[in-house]
Amino acid sequence: MTVTLDAPCTPTLPAAPTGSPAAPVDRAVAPLLPVVGGDVAVPLVDGDTVRYANLDYAASSPALEAVAAHLTQALPYYSSVHRGAGFTSQVSTQLYESARRTVADFLGARADDVVVFTRNTTDALNLLANALPGHPGAGDVIFLDSEHHANLLPWQGRAHRCVPVSHTLAGTVERLADALRERPAALVAVTGSSNVTGEILPIARIAAIAHAHGARIVVDAAQLAPHRRIDMTALDVDYVAFSGHKIYAPFGAGALVGRRDWLDEATPYLAGGGAVREVGTERTEWAAAPQRHEGGTPNVLGAATLAAACRAIAALPAGALEAHEGQLRERLVTGLGRLPGVRLLQIWPDSTERIGVVTFVVTGHDSGRVAAYLSAEHGIGVRDGRFCAHPLLTRLGYGDGAIRASLGVGSSSDDVDRLVAAIEQLQVDGEGWDYALDHGRWAPTPDPRPAAPWLAEATGPADATDAAAGASPCGD
Ligand code: PLP
């Protein structure tokens, strides 16, 4: 059930300031931490080669060098977890279980919170949806219509209310409070920061409101965790979900962290070996969480590298992440803002904090085609489309899609400057190549860029089916 509490609000879409004086952004900003592939060279359609400007951290971030080093160190000891008496099995088990403690510490979890390793945030939120109390009167789930699909679809299969965002962030929080006043809920599911605009939500305030009305809160921290310190205890947040591949550990693990009781009582998420205490042919005694939900062989290297990334981020001096990303974001917003016809997406005019995610459109240019141009002619990687947030893009009036540039610890001022210069060149000179739709995606035509020799060796020649398989799984 979807309940609309109020008429849909008109989006607030400020035009990016034009002709504004340049901010003091001419000082070079270096990467904060080394990432694997930070200097990888990519081919252009004109035959040239350039350093890849990765401005797509919000989709998947590169591995930190420290994370890759940890992986290399751990690989020789890779073995079964919880299942072997051999030395390497015991090392693997220790790696896996100590990763839980690292993740819990990284998120400021309470001593009795549980860390369940999952595949990613989507998996973690589906796990929580599976663990919602089902007894009569338990209450439903409340979420905003600005959420990523991962924090929307799992709840659609449960009793739920979708609250439309208001013109302001303060008004949006008030709408959540109104929904809770109207009828108690079991859970408020909210993102830590928007994957479209980077705007950060006032989590502590929303948690206080949820708790005052007897509801719990889960934070979708897929975007927030790589960019801001999260302290579940201080924020009084019940559950946090996040993904390794967005926090510099792209090895297939994520986590759901939070209160034990629902997780201990829930039907096992993934029934199988490792999730049980005793199995009979008709009756099974299940383990408590976290093992209850981790049936099958655990992803020890995913968990260990996720923990390594958490350690590396936690070891940064206080404020370093914010300062690095803030400078680059400001540079990007100022640079794009000087270009006529570039509009930045924003949900709320009164939001004050943002992570390094900037989404924009270039008037008169299809966003997918701009993204193809940036890649083919400039070696710049951005994301285009609707960012798995269809309701939000529709609400903002950009149902045709937009372009997202996102930053991380490996980003530099050179990446940002190249993007701004490329958009300016597009506006002044136009495209230097032809583009056509290929399986629904814009692509240069012809596309003479050679695949890396190692790729052809590993995969054989690409064919049309590969391209089709590469089309957006998100409906863009
Ligand atoms: N939540 C937000 C805010 C996201 O940006 C994403 C991914 O882009 C997800 C959830 C889903 O993350 P994953 O694909 O790792 O499950």
- DSSP, residue by residue, 156-172: HTSSEEEEPP-SSHHHH
Minimal-distance CA residue to ligand 1 atom 4: 222
Minimal-distance CA residue to ligand 1 atom 6: 222
How much is the pLDDT for 475? 55
Q: How far is the CA of 121 from the centre of ligand 1 (A)?
A: 6
How much is the pLDDT for 468? 54
**Who's near 80: CB < 8 A, 6+ residues apart?**
89, 92, 297
Strand partners, 243: 254
**224 is written with which tokens?**
């927030």
Ligand 1 pocket test: pick from 197, 200, 246, 392 the residue with the most ligand atoms within 8 Å of its Cβ.
246
How much is the pLDDT for 10? 34
Q: How far is the CA of 222 from the centre of ligand 1 (A)?
A: 5
How much is the pLDDT for 471? 58
Q: Using only the alpha carbons of the chain, give its radius of gyration.
A: 23
Stretches in the chain below the pLDDT threshold 70 = 1-25, 462-476
Ligand 1 pocket test: pick from 119, 191, 223, 230 the residue with the most ligand atoms within 8 Å of its Cβ.
223
Domains of the chain: 41-62+318-453 (3.90.1150.10), 66-314 (3.40.640.10)
**If DSSP codes are grouped into helix, strand and coil, which group holds residue 116?**
strand
Beta strands, E only, 26-81: 41-43, 49-51, 53-54
Q: How far is the CA of 127 from the centre of ligand 1 (A)?
A: 15
Q: What is the 3-state secondary structure (H, E, C) of 98-158?
A: HHHHHHHHHCCCCCCCEEEEECCHHHHHHHHHHHCCCCCCCCEEEEECCCCHHHCHHHHCC
**312 is written with which tokens?**
């590396």
C-alpha 98/C-alpha 31 separation (Å) is 29
**Residues with C-beta less than 6 Å from any ligand 1 atom:** 120-122, 148, 150-151, 191, 195, 220, 222-223, 243, 245, 388
How much is the pLDDT for 241? 98
Q: 442-460 b/e with 16+ CB inside 10 Å = b?
A: bbbeebebeeeeeeeeeee
Active site residue 388: yes
Q: How far is the CA of 165 from the centre of ligand 1 (A)?
A: 19
How much is the pLDDT for 465? 59
* DSSP per-residue codes, 197-216: T-BBP-HHHHHHHHHHTT-E
From the CA of 243, give the closest atom in ligand 1. 15
How much is the pLDDT for 11? 36
Ligand 1 pocket test: pick from 243, 355, 387 the residue with the most ligand atoms within 8 Å of its Cβ.
243
Is there a contact between 240 and 225 (Cβ–Cβ < 8 Å)? Answer: yes
Q: How far is the CA of 150 from the centre of ligand 1 (A)?
A: 6
What element of type H or E holds 376?
helix 367-378
How much is the pLDDT for 313? 98
